[in-house]
């Protein structure tokens, strides 16, 4: 009879516990006073009480700490805000685009791994398929639905204050946010369905680690009714002795006065915002017009200096060639052909740099490989070009593309004409928003005192300075030349 009595008593206790919250579609139930596996107060595992055995384990080098008697006699799991993640076994959250999540949490301060101080409560943020993330700052809850994010401010959220927070997906595209059993806001999400995934607790898997404490997590695979939500919230607030929000006294005239003040302040702020937005728009338009004017002046200057001077040279050589019939006339005709080809190439480069479709660093590298190959192919110099791929997201302005190309071609031209080099290399890399070029040859070099002389070197330095960059030139007799310049991109 004794075993039967014990079993009966245990069943009564179990039924009493489970009767406090609905059991239908219960996906996960983690409590800080039950099923927490610890070693020297460091948490190593957290056993699921829902019956699905979706136990959570530590997936980071640092583990949460179990702090006793932190919430009216209950222990809590403390996350330090840095390098701590727990994760459950994989399951499908918000099944059929419905679900409810309850959490008893406390934010102790900004996260140490997030630039904005965002604390991740739970998430499936890094994983396969559509992911989601629920996080908080001291005055803002944020829900990321895998496509877009929604934030909803709650000024009453206080640092180091315990909260009972509930989110429930009520339709394909809407969530309700409850705080301590009271609905606060309805917000929209994308019409998507997360795949089966591990649930991460205290972080999104990489960043935004929670700086705070967790006492309990309850998840359902359905949207609970309003009565059920109130019941679960009542259970959690009663269990952890968390008070309901104070109901304000019914002073209608205070509400009216507050509403009038809010309307006036809103009108003032809205007017100020609209005026500032209009002013910012005019400033942007002015800056854009100035930029276009500078670009037109630059193009005009290049056309005048390069194309105009070249055409004048062709005219003069043509007039001279007409008066000659010997071989010197033929040489001048060859010079005319060479100058014409140079002008065609220059015009082609200007047209390429002005094409708005050629705006990425990847496209510049591709065009540069083609041009440098033509320039070096018959030079007798063995050359190596290391211009990496994969920079489609790095955008360049017209003058940047043009000046970078001209600087590299001028350096290569000097090496071909003067260096007597047998090998040459051109390398480029991007690091910390800086574009770094290095051009090295094994030629005869020259004395450093000659660096300031010559139009070619002056042009190179001038173009690098126009790009807001810095150039270093290392050379000496018999040691070759090495150019290195760095540009912000």
Q: Give the whole-angstrom CA distance, residue 151 versus residue 142.
A: 4
273 and 234 within one domain: no
**Is residue 6 included in any domain, yes or no?**
no
**Secondary structure (3-state) at 271:** helix
Please give the pLDDT value at position 129: 81
153 and 293 within one domain: no
**Is residue 60 included in any domain, yes or no?**
yes
415 and 350 within one domain: no
330 and 383 within one domain: no
**Which of 208, 239, 270 finishes a domain?**
239
**Is residue 3 included in any domain, yes or no?**
no
Pairing of strands 140-144, 133-137: antiparallel
Please give the pLDDT value at position 206: 75
415 and 385 within one domain: yes
Instruction: Look at the chain and report how many structural domains it folds into.
Output: 3
**Is residue 13 included in any domain, yes or no?**
no
The answer, yes or no, to whether residue 391 has pLDDT greater than 70, is yes
Stretch 137-156: mean pLDDT: 69
Please give the pLDDT value at position 310: 61
DSSP secondary structure letters along 332-353: HHHHHHHHHHHHHHHHHHHHHH
- Provide the CATH number for the domain around residue 53: 2.60.120.200
The answer, yes or no, to whether residue 4 has pLDDT greater than 60, is no
**Is residue 311 included in any domain, yes or no?**
yes
Higher pLDDT, 348 or 312: 348
337 and 191 within one domain: no
* Residue among 277, 359, 347 at smallest CA distance from 308: 347
The answer, yes or no, to whether residue 1 has pLDDT greater than 50, is no
264 and 208 within one domain: no
**Which of 299, 326, 354 finishes a domain?**
354
| Tally of residues, the chain | 489
**Which among 32-41, 249-258, 451-460, 470-479 has the top mean pLDDT?**
32-41
> Do the beta carbons of residue 482 and residue 440 sit within 8 Å?
yes
**Secondary structure (3-state) at 418:** helix
Q: Give the whole-angstrom CA distance, residue 411 versus residue 461.
A: 11
The answer, yes or no, to whether residue 248 has pLDDT greater than 70, is no
Range of the domain at 428: 357-489
DSSP run (H or E) holding 288? helix 252-302
258 and 195 within one domain: no
Helix and strand counts by DSSP (H, E) for the chain: 8, 24
> Do the beta carbons of residue 430 and residue 394 sit within 8 Å?
yes
208 and 176 within one domain: yes
CA distance to 28, 106, 246, per residue, from 242 (Å): 22, 12, 12
Rg (CA), the chain: 35
**How many beta carbons lie within 10 A of that of residue 312, not counting itself?**
10
0.85 exceeded by the pTM?
Answer: no
* Mean pLDDT rounded to a whole number for the chain: 82
**Is residue 12 included in any domain, yes or no?**
no
- CA end-to-end span of the chain: 82
Q: How many CA atoms lie within 13 A of 193 on its CB side?
A: 9
- Provide the CATH number for the domain around residue 367: 3.30.565.10
Higher pLDDT, 301 or 132: 132
441 and 297 within one domain: no
283 and 230 within one domain: no
Comparing 265-274, 285-294, 314-323, 422-431, which segment has the lowest mean pLDDT? 314-323
The tokens of 150 are what? Answer: 């929604």
**How many beta carbons lie within 10 A of that of residue 170, not counting itself?**
16
**Is residue 4 included in any domain, yes or no?**
no
422 and 318 within one domain: no
What pLDDT digit, counting tens, does each position of 16-65 carry? 444 479 999 999 999 999 999 999 889 999 999 999 999 999 988 889 99
The answer, yes or no, to whether residue 283 has pLDDT greater than 80, is yes
218 band by pLDDT with thresholds 50, 70 and 90? very high
**Is residue 1 included in any domain, yes or no?**
no
The tokens of 242 are what? Answer: 């968390």
**Which of 354, 384, 408 finishes a domain?**
354
DSSP secondary structure letters along 201-213: ESSSSSS---EEE
């Amino acid at each position: 009879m004794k075993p039967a009595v014990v079993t009966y008593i245990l069943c009564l206790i179990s039924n009493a516990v489970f009767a406090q919250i609905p059991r239908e579609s219960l996906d996960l139930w983690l409590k800080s006073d039950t099923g927490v596996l610890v070693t020297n107060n460091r948490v190593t595992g957290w056993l699921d009480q829902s019956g699905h055995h979706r136990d959570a384990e530590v997936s980071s080098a640092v583990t949460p700490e179990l702090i006793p008697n932190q919430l009216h006699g209950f222990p809590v799991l403390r996350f330090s805000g840095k390098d701590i993640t727990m994760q459950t076994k994989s399951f499908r959250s918000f099944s059929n685009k419905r679900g409810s999540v309850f959490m008893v949490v406390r934010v102790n301060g900004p996260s140490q791994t997030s630039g904005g101080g965002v604390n991740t409560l739970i998430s499936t943020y890094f994983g396969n398929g559509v992911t989601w993330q629920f996080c908080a700052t001291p005055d803002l809850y944020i829900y990321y639905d895998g496509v877009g994010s929604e934030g909803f401010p709650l000024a009453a959220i206080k640092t180091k204050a315990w909260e009972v927070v509930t989110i429930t997906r009520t339709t394909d595209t809407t969530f309700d946010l409850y705080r301590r059993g009271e609905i606060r806001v309805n917000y929209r999400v994308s019409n998507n369905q997360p795949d089966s995934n591990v649930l991460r607790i205290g972080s999104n898997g990489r960043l935004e680690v929670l700086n705070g404490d967790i006492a309990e997590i309850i998840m359902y695979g359905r949207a609970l009714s309003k009565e059920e939500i109130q019941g679960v919230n009542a259970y959690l607030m009663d269990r952890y002795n968390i008070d309901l929000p104070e109901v304000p006294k019914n002073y209608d005239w205070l509400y009216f006065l507050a509403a009038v003040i809010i309307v006036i302040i809103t009108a003032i702020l809205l007017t100020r915002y609209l005026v500032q937005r209009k002013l910012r728009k005019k400033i942007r338009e002015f800056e854009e017009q100035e930029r276009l004017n500078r670009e037109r002046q630059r193009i005009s200057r290049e056309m005048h200096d390069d194309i105009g001077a070249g055409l004048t040279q062709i005219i003069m050589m043509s007039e001279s060639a007409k008066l000659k019939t010997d071989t010197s006339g033929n040489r001048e005709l060859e010079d005319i052909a060479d100058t014409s080809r140079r002008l065609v190439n220059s015009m082609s480069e200007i047209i390429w740099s002005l094409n708005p479709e050629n705006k990425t660093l990847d496209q510049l590298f591709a065009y540069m490989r083609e041009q440098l190959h033509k320039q070096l192919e018959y030079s007798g110099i063995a050359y190596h070009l290391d211009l990496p791929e994969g920079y489609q997201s790095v955008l360049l302005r017209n003058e940047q593309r043009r000046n970078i190309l001209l600087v590299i071609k001028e350096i290569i031209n000097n090496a071909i004409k003067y260096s007597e080099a047998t090998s040459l290399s051109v390398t480029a890399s991007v690091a910390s928003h800086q574009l770094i070029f290095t051009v090295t040859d094994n030629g005869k070099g020259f004395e450093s005192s000659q660096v300031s002389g010559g139009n070619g070197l002056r042009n190179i330095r001038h173009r690098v300075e126009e790009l807001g960059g810095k150039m270093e030139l290392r050379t000496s007799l018999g040691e070759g030349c090495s150019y290195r310049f760095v540009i912000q991109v």
